[in-house]
Structure 1
Amino acid sequence: MSEANIYNQHLGQVPANYAALSPLTFLERAASVFPNRTAVVHGEVRRTWAETYRRCCQLASALSQRGIGVGDTVSIICPNLPEHFEAHFGVPMVGAVLNSINTRLDAASVAFILRHAEAKILITEREMSPIVNKALSLLEDDKLPLPLVIDIDDPSFSGGALLGDVTYEQFIAAGDPEFAWQMPANEWDAISLNYTSGTTGDPKGVVYHHRGAHLNAVSNALSWGMPSGAVYLWTLPMFHCNGWCFPWTIAAIAGTNVCLRHVRADLILSLVKSEKVDHLCGAPIVLSMMLGAEDEQKAGIEHKVKVMTAGAPPPAAVIQGMEELGFDVTQVYGLTETYGPCVVSEWKHEWDDQSVEARARLKARQGVRVQLQDGLMVADPVTLEPVERDGETIGEIFMRGNIVMKGYLKNAKTTDAAFAGGWFHSGDLAVWHPDGYVEIKDRSKDIIISGGENISSIEIEDTLYRHPLIQDVAVVAKPDEKWGEVPCAFVNLVDGANLTENEVIAYCREHMARFKVPKKVVFVNLPRTSTGKVQKFILRQWAVDAK
């Protein structure tokens, strides 16, 4: 760039006009502007933003006293508790990297993550103690140094055990509430480490930077139209893409975090009413649970509640059911590698007069890029040539921009492959509609090729979800001597319902082309990850074994 350009002359970055982007500024602002506004609700615990800020400073100070600093990993395995929220700020306040671990993993997987992440500290909680204790034993067996274990001793849970030498409250009590924490020197510095759900083998460590966390937190508020002071219910795990970056979003809007240890329909609906919750997130299975609740539990919600759903393509029937209950559903789409949501099914007012069913089908499309994502396309996975926007031609979804991960931790080969051609390769197959909206048809590995015909498992699942007696469903390929592979449906019925395999197949024949109809139906509870994704690698083996 030429220095002769008048706009380059003595117009550089200085502290007065430039600061690294980081969501840490949201916390300080919330405490400064709304010190007495409720920040956290957990049972009898209610803390203001000023109190929450002090506790985060104490956590940061205590970590610093233990020698934790830039580039160190602090792991946490914990339900959606206030301490988990505080860790999203206290850990990066000292330049450390927060590694929030899936609470439903087995001990071997937890040990793998602690080992791979080189965790210096592990914050855990009584409910997690059986798995964590086994994981620590596995590290000992490998003669690896153990992280310092800090126990959250939450009175809302009875049982379990304290595994460390210090509790969380004792630990932060030693910290300075006026601690002079620092912003990152570079907004590209890592803020968090999230491991993929591991549905196809060992999880990969996805690294986020401060810039992306800041931008996606703002993007959440923009794409959802969240007002200042919104009341947000934690139905989404904080470990999943750092709760889709919502800990930082709620700080940005100085909202209220309503914590929820266990995701149950009765608890969700009760808190929506008692705390006047107006925003919540969750996988489609969470919405299905709410729809299946008793009528008296669903009654009495007299205010508007916005629901953001993702994790798996939600059936139009589920969206329609929630809308009929008075919940306003927004579908978003993204991956761990994109900080969670980076595509939104943005609503257009010209669709307001559509029928409920038509509205639901429009909302079932994944949508368009969020405001702060730079690029989204559906393209040929080899040539990266965009497909026709005809709603029929299938390609792979690609993204690029500021809310794409730094890369995979200690995995250069996979990082390079994921970014080949200057785009992030999602592995999801979709069509591109004429209006620019993306609609997923399947994961690349989930397309069923039967007799040379490509069959979308999602299309079959969407049809089956419309059956009034079916609550949960997943479809995978079953090997077949004649056709190569055929659809196999795994179905979970509504409580008390009865359906036979032949009745399900007959229903499908009425509602789809014959070659798409499942050749086998198995009634079973679906194996899911804690983020709501069906573990289809398990179902594929079950399909092989099914007679």
Structure 2
Amino acid sequence: MTAIGLWNIAADLPDHPAVVDPDGAVVTYQELAARANRFGRGFQELGLQPGDTVVMALPNSADLLALYFAVLQTGLYVVPVNWHLVGPEVAYIVEDSGAKVFIAHERFAEMAAEAGNAVDAKFAVGDIPGFQPLDALGASASPGRPEARTAGAPMVYTSGTTGRPKGVRRPLTGGDPDDVPPASMWFFGIFGIKPFDEHVHICGSPLYHTAVLNFAGISIQMGHTVVLMEKWEPEEMLRLIQEHRVTHSHMVPTQFHRLMALPESTRARYDVSSLRVMIHGAAPCPLETKRRMLDWWGPVVVEYYAATEGGGTSITAEEWLRKPGSVGKAWPGSVVRVLDDHGNDMPVGELGLVYMKMGASTFEYHKDKAKTLASRVGDLFTLGDVGHLDEDGYLYLHDRKADMIISGGVNIYPAEIEGELAVHPKVADIAVFGLPHADWGEEIKAVVQPAPGVVADDSLTEELLEYAKSRLAKFKLPRSIDYIEEMPRDPNGKLYKRKLRANYL
């Protein structure tokens, strides 16, 4: 039986397809491992040591996955950044992470040029002034595997209520990169996914998302072919599922909504009988949308609730039909509890903050001990989600972080938007929150109290949105701006944002 793990599979089944690039090119396990080895040697040639950090801003590609595995075998941390961010936002992550290497695609040249000023070693796919070509990384190093091999890890940046992203950093294990972590096998086992077994994974979301990168990386480690989409389109996904006999994927409810919006004749045109488990999370899924997906795809739609920080729940299709609206029971080895403000367990059916933990795993928010401690009760941590447990231990979520907006499966933090727009001279006060949106789940609404003497009209809206575009990624921009004479705040300055939002619901 072939051993699992990229390098073991490359030795035993060198011609087995590892990645299908968005342009249709097939990269074998032998080719992917060789590319990861060359990049890994390149990092060591640059003098990087275990614990150092590499930041990459790349679209979905075999190069991204090869760099990911290069980091995993050289004891480094890899930070995949959201390439929708603008230069100053990425520059903050590059500097905060202490990156020694920055790798970007020419498609994001303007952002990369601004963000990479603090890094000496810069490489580009394509042409970016001041960057070396990625092909140069490791080109002059000795052939074969990197000299010293030890397990590295991803360090993903997750925003907080302060609006500044924080890196979730776990201690390196010092393990052998050829050994697939038992946690990876266990995690896929939750969903009944086994090594090899003719599995094909389709990746339609950007690999800078934690879960998306995890699913693609673990799939490769387990001998599955990964089909990459550069941009998710509903009918194109159906075409690829049929062509490659896809068995599993990680999705978000917005994608379900877009699939269901296709004409019935279009949906019926494609054979999706190969699907075995289509896993979704990242945002609440409307009950009717999920029912319709189950009617179409059958009992292959599985839901989970989890966090970059660790721990979570899952629920099968059959369970969900019995417990509609639930996000499931705690994973084996995971603890999920609902606590009051004093850390006491809430009775069955009563609302409280949802706390989790995963085994004995530990993490810290990079350079933010206060945030790390604030999220914990003992060895449990919370995302600030409100929910309840039923008599059978199934978790139901009633609200998310107090103010967080989830649009298209992406977490958006109003405090960051408020912080940028509040400094505009024509803004006296501002509140940003999410409103329900049929397609995206939520859309961003801004309510502004204009500065004295400023006329609240369409020209002001245009001015504020143009200002925001220079400071925030497109997906963080308010979709509309309303105006108010005075923002509802208490004498201590606390904003009654929920009351404000309630006026729109």
Give TM-score, length-normalised by structure 2.
0.74
Partner residue of 1:39 out of 7, 15, 18: 18
* Secondary structure class of the residue paired with 2:378: helix
1:259 aligns with 2:228: yes
Q: Which residue of 1 aligns with 2:136?
A: 170
Number of aligned positions between the proteins: 424
- 1:294 deviation in Å? 3.5
1:316 aligns with 2:290: no
* Secondary structure class of the residue paired with 2:245: coil
- 1:412 deviation in Å? 1.4
Partner residue of 1:273 out of 225, 242, 249: 242
Deviations 1:168-226 (A, max 9, x none): 22324334441245453xx7xx6221111467611111113455993542233111111
CA, structure 1 residues 123+444, in 2 after alignment: closer, same or farther (shift >3 Å)?
Answer: closer
Q: Residues 20-39 of structure 1 correspond to what in structure 2 (within 5 A)?
A: 26-39=5-18
Q: Which residue of 2 aligns with 1:156?
A: none
> Does the 8 Å contact 1:199/1:537 carry over to 2?
no
CA, structure 1 residues 261+444, in 2 after alignment: closer, same or farther (shift >3 Å)?
Answer: closer
Partner residue of 1:335 out of 304, 307, 317: 307
1:208 aligns with 2:146: no
Separation (CA, whole Å) in 2 of partners of 1:331 and 1:129: 37
Partner residue of 2:154 out of 185, 192, 196: 192
* Secondary structure class of the residue paired with 1:254: coil
Q: What is the RMSD of the two structures over their aligned residues, measured on CA atoms?
A: 3.7
Separation (CA, whole Å) in 2 of partners of 1:128 and 1:326: 37
Separation (CA, whole Å) in 1 of partners of 2:263 and 2:214: 32
* Secondary structure class of the residue paired with 2:238: helix
Q: Which residue of 2 aligns with 1:370?
A: 331
Deviations 1:75-130 (A, max 9, x none): 01112111111122101322111011112212221011011011111111122223
- 1:244 deviation in Å? 5.3
> Does the 8 Å contact 1:369/1:375 carry over to 2?
yes
Separation (CA, whole Å) in 2 of partners of 1:58 and 1:178: 8
Partner residue of 2:204 out of 222, 235, 248: 235
CA, structure 1 residues 365+274, in 2 after alignment: closer, same or farther (shift >3 Å)?
Answer: same
- 1:430 deviation in Å? 0.8
Q: Which residue of 1 aligns with 2:373?
A: 416
* Secondary structure class of the residue paired with 2:100: strand
Amino acid aligned to 2:209: H
- 1:538 deviation in Å? 9.1
Separation (CA, whole Å) in 2 of partners of 1:437 and 1:346: 12
> Does the 8 Å contact 1:196/1:206 carry over to 2?
yes
1:148 aligns with 2:121: yes
CA, structure 1 residues 219+537, in 2 after alignment: closer, same or farther (shift >3 Å)?
Answer: farther
- 1:247 deviation in Å? 3.3
Q: Which residue of 1 aligns with 2:185?
A: 218
CA, structure 1 residues 302+246, in 2 after alignment: closer, same or farther (shift >3 Å)?
Answer: closer
Q: Which residue of 2 aligns with 1:383?
A: 342
Separation (CA, whole Å) in 2 of partners of 1:333 and 1:409: 23
Separation (CA, whole Å) in 1 of partners of 2:50 and 2:480: 38
For structure 2, the 5+ residue unaligned runs are 415-432, 441-468, 483-496
CA, structure 1 residues 534+272, in 2 after alignment: closer, same or farther (shift >3 Å)?
Answer: farther
Separation (CA, whole Å) in 1 of partners of 2:58 and 2:66: 12
> Does the 8 Å contact 1:312/1:533 carry over to 2?
no
CA, structure 1 residues 165+115, in 2 after alignment: closer, same or farther (shift >3 Å)?
Answer: closer
* Secondary structure class of the residue paired with 1:337: coil
Give TM-score, length-normalised by structure 1.
0.69
Separation (CA, whole Å) in 2 of partners of 1:407 and 1:444: 19
CA, structure 1 residues 244+214, in 2 after alignment: closer, same or farther (shift >3 Å)?
Answer: farther
Amino acid aligned to 2:15: N
Q: Which residue of 1 aligns with 2:451?
A: none
Amino acid aligned to 1:316: L
- 1:537 deviation in Å? 13
* Secondary structure class of the residue paired with 1:67: coil
Amino acid aligned to 1:315: P
Q: Which residue of 2 aligns with 1:114?
A: 94
CA, structure 1 residues 34+534, in 2 after alignment: closer, same or farther (shift >3 Å)?
Answer: farther
CA, structure 1 residues 116+177, in 2 after alignment: closer, same or farther (shift >3 Å)?
Answer: same
- 1:300 deviation in Å? 1.8
- 1:446 deviation in Å? 5.0
CA, structure 1 residues 62+491, in 2 after alignment: closer, same or farther (shift >3 Å)?
Answer: closer
Separation (CA, whole Å) in 2 of partners of 1:488 and 1:219: 36
Separation (CA, whole Å) in 1 of partners of 2:314 and 2:476: 19
* Secondary structure class of the residue paired with 1:39: strand
Deviations 1:490-521 (A, max 9, x none): 44479xxxxxxxxxxxxxxxxxxxxxxxxxxx
Q: Residues 42-61 of structure 1 correspond to what in structure 2 (within 5 A)?
A: 42=21, 43-61=23-41
Q: Which residue of 1 aligns with 2:386?
A: 429
Partner residue of 1:88 out of 43, 68, 83: 68
> Does the 8 Å contact 1:332/1:343 carry over to 2?
yes
Q: Which residue of 2 aligns with 1:134?
A: 114
Deviations 1:270-322 (A, max 9, x none): 21122222211122111111211243442222423231111111111121121
- 1:536 deviation in Å? 11
CA, structure 1 residues 46+490, in 2 after alignment: closer, same or farther (shift >3 Å)?
Answer: same
Separation (CA, whole Å) in 2 of partners of 1:420 and 1:105: 33
CA, structure 1 residues 25+307, in 2 after alignment: closer, same or farther (shift >3 Å)?
Answer: closer
* Secondary structure class of the residue paired with 1:173: coil
Deviations 1:335-380 (A, max 9, x none): 2222xx73211455xx5xxxxxx72x73641112223x43221222
For structure 1, the 5+ residue unaligned runs are 1-23, 140-144, 154-160, 352-357, 448-456, 462-473, 477-486, 495-526
Q: Which residue of 1 aligns with 2:45?
A: 65
Separation (CA, whole Å) in 2 of partners of 1:177 and 1:288: 48
